[in-house]
Amino acid sequence: GCCSFAWETSVAGRQALLGRLMIVGKKCAAHLGLTDGFRMVAGEGPEGEQSVHHVHLHILGGCRLGWPPG
């Protein structure tokens, strides 16, 4: 798909990809009008509820988000 990426096996490749995801995530939040703040969440592994091994972000916003999350 248009937003699919192969998960890099090298540390440098993963760092570059994750850095790019943060930039794109911020642009998506702005596009969604989340000007008062937002949170980006990524799940990894079984306890992160990752059943298909791929990288993606959830962009949460539009209301006050509590801390700690969950």
Could you say which of 31, 53, 54, 56 is catalytic? 56
31 catalytic per annotation: no
Residues 6 or more apart whose Cβ sits within 8 Å of residue 47: none
Residue positions annotated with a catalytic role:
56
